[in-house]
Amino acid sequence: MKLSAFQRKALSHALSFPSVERVVYSTCSIHQAENEDVVNAVLPLATSLGFELATPFPQWRRRGLPVFEGSEHLLRTNPEDGLEGFFIALFVRKAAPSGVEEPVEDGSLGRRRKPVIKRRYGLRTCSSLRLSRMILCSTGRF
């Protein structure tokens, strides 16, 4: 039981970061207590933070144990399939957390600012991308 309590805490912590868009919870276990039960326990928090379960590898036939609504989105392998135990739950953020405004490019809430020039390294941020997907674009001065 100590392991599953730690797993619930770690998964909850991962989901708590406001800029996170996807969280994969994965174990090398066949045990319901470490897999479906952990996901089921964290699901109310995940939902309140704007996450929902997505279906990883939709062509994979074996899904989660039917112990809660939504377990069809989970993926598992079992020894009877000739594979070792493995489990995946994919949480995808579909909306901003309740009552929280999403940050804009400059990391603040509210009005967007112009792209920032990174003079030291000759890089600038691309203005069309959200903070969570920010990439650095070359200005040709390396």
- Which amino acids are annotated catalytic? 28
How far is C-alpha 103 from the chain's CA centre?
18
- The 3-class SS string of 100-132 reads CCCCCCCCCCCCCCCCCEECCCCEEECCCCCHH
User: Residue ranges of the alpha helices (H) in 1-142?
Assistant: 2-15, 36-48
Closest C-alpha to 129, from 110, 142, 139, 115: 115
Q: Is 142 helix (H, G, I), strand (E, B) or coil?
A: coil
